[in-house]
Chains A and B, each alone.
Chain A
């Protein structure tokens, strides 16, 4: 199956010609493929090269080496870009226009001719129908973000590239946006998301990539990345013999809670048997895993 998005050996250096000094390596050999119909989240610290990567994907910036494919074709082909929706990190919308006029202008450039009702429906999807007659210049940041998302969704693109899609959007709005994107995902659209909101990325994306210093440090399914290290949280009734519990493999985690590192259910039960044999009374048991933040922190630390 042709990946919806594929980058091979992508290099990009920003040169400083005037000062004559060596430039900055924004991307240093990035290899990435995103399967169609999936949601991929790209995370990393500031200056990692995420936005540069996205620009190279879409032909906004020229990579120095490597290849890029969107939906199996070069991003330089206008016909391919017609099947891609893009929400840039920085927005510059015409302040004197009204939302329907702006969407109509974007649609025309995409080769579409939506009717007024279609535009209203799109505005309703992003929650802007009530302000459709207001000029964009009076919009809040969140409202502008929603309008730009609506523009990206025009024409039912097969691939959505979203750079900070919920930046400036209130919590309720973020929920709506997430539902909207989930609906697109369910429709078969491929999502490529760059977001600093790790919680949002966790909820939406199935695969994650961690970019730092122009290199892809980690890449894979979210579950696999977060559950590489899983443990159990165990609570015993007060009075449990601490030394016996430690000997049984339980590490104190504060306030009567213990942590047990066990690979499978048999190991968990064996440890619990040892604890009960020492006189401990089990009152609580829960499986715990790392958050995406933990994964990111870990990856960055290991790179350093």
Chain B
């Protein structure tokens, strides 16, 4: 009988051995994670997210304004920016930005801007005026009438902050600080409201108008709506302001942009990576379509040139760039991975050496 049958038991041993080796390989895994965690795609702010909607509602502390269409609670900053027929409104969510990875990198850079002797940084100088830029500032906004800063200014030393300007009360909770100009004439006027908002305006009329809009005595324009207040930086640039930003000599696309684009709305997210979404709208759908294609082609060509020139970082960045065509507008999306930012800002943030070097 032994001569008739081979040794099938060897096959069983081989099977068990192979399964065992397979289990061992799996256990060792060459350092691989078991679930193969994949890097999430960069977050792109395409719409108002729940957390941002809650933030928006929390900021609507003002009663409804005089216009029927604004029969809703209002945000002081957006009201301050809402100059009628305004062409610009850009808001930086300073609180969100400084807590983001990008913000931490930038703060480290700022801290590192201390002198070789470890002297006071720019931040320290502002803190001495009673305002901590990293703690007290909530938002910084740029509009047609100047800059608006919101936050907690209860500890601000107004006299030192505004070079000795004497405040004038205005409205219910407003104050006006007229700052002198270099030539001795009238300079910018700062409107302060309720210890939580500062608006740096070109003159007294603009300052008064700002406080009037905040306190509901003047109708407000609608340059930036509540539902557009999402992202860590967001805003709208339109009309002549847009034309002023893009001059005819700014590259081959400048002309098509000026022809077709009438308004650009953008949103930037810095939760981890930096993602930018911009929406370009205009009156002529055909020109917009052509502009979108031209822009997409330009980005693609730039990527190809960067790759050919060995600029791999730049080429990888441009991989995240895309144009999303639409009917009366098109979107432009770009993203910068956090790792790239980290690499670019790596020279910042290093503690100074014993000799003050890096």
Contacts and interface: CB of A to CB of B under 8 A. Distances in A.
Interface string B14-39: 00000000000000000000000000
Given A62-B5, A65-B1, A74-B3, 6 more contacts: A62-B4, A63-B4, A64-B1, A66-B1, A67-B4, A76-B4
Query: Which one of B1, B3, B5 has the highest number of Cβ atoms from chain A below 10 Å of its Cβ?
Result: B1
B6 interface: yes
A76 B6 contact: yes
Interface in A50-71: 62-68
A51 to B, nearest CB: 18
A67 B5 contact: no
Contacts of B4: 62-63, 67-68, 74, 76
A176 to B, nearest CB: 37
Contacts of A65: 1
A15 to B, nearest CB: 15
Interface residues of B, number: 5
Nearest to A62: B5
Nearest to B1: A65
Interface of A: 62-68, 74, 76
Nearest to B6: A76
Q: Name, among B1, B4, B5, the residue most crowded by chain A CB atoms within 10 Å (CB to CB).
A: B4
Nearest to A63: B4
Interface string B128-152: 0000000000000000000000000
Contacts of A74: 3-4
The 5 A-B residue pairs whose C-beta atoms are closest, nearest first, are A62-B5, A65-B1, A63-B4, A62-B4, A74-B3
Contacts of A68: 4
A66 B4 CA distance: 9
Contacts of A64: 1
B73 to A, nearest CB: 78
14 contacts: A62-B4, A62-B5, A63-B1, A63-B4, A64-B1, A65-B1, A66-B1, A67-B3, A67-B4, A68-B4, A74-B3, A74-B4, A76-B4, A76-B6
Nearest to B5: A62
Contacts of B6: 76
Nearest to A68: B4
A53 to B, nearest CB: 14
Contacts of A67: 3-4
A67 B5 CA distance: 11
A65 B2 CA distance: 9
A170 B4 CA distance: 39
Contacts of A62: 4-5
Nearest to B3: A74
B1 to A, nearest CB: 6
A221 to B, nearest CB: 30
A64 B6 CA distance: 13
A11 to B, nearest CB: 9
A66 B5 CA distance: 12
Interface in B281-298: none
A187 to B, nearest CB: 30
A64 B2 CA distance: 10
Nearest to A11: B1
A160 to B, nearest CB: 23
A195 B126 CA distance: 111
Nearest to A64: B1
Contacts of B5: 62
A74 B3 CA distance: 8
A65 B341 CA distance: 79
A76 B5 CA distance: 8
Contacts of A63: 1, 4
A67 B4 CA distance: 7
B334 to A, nearest CB: 58
A160 B5 CA distance: 23
A97 B194 CA distance: 93
Nearest to A75: B4
A128 B210 CA distance: 105
A68 B5 CA distance: 11
A102 to B, nearest CB: 30
A64 B4 CA distance: 9
A76 to B, nearest CB: 7
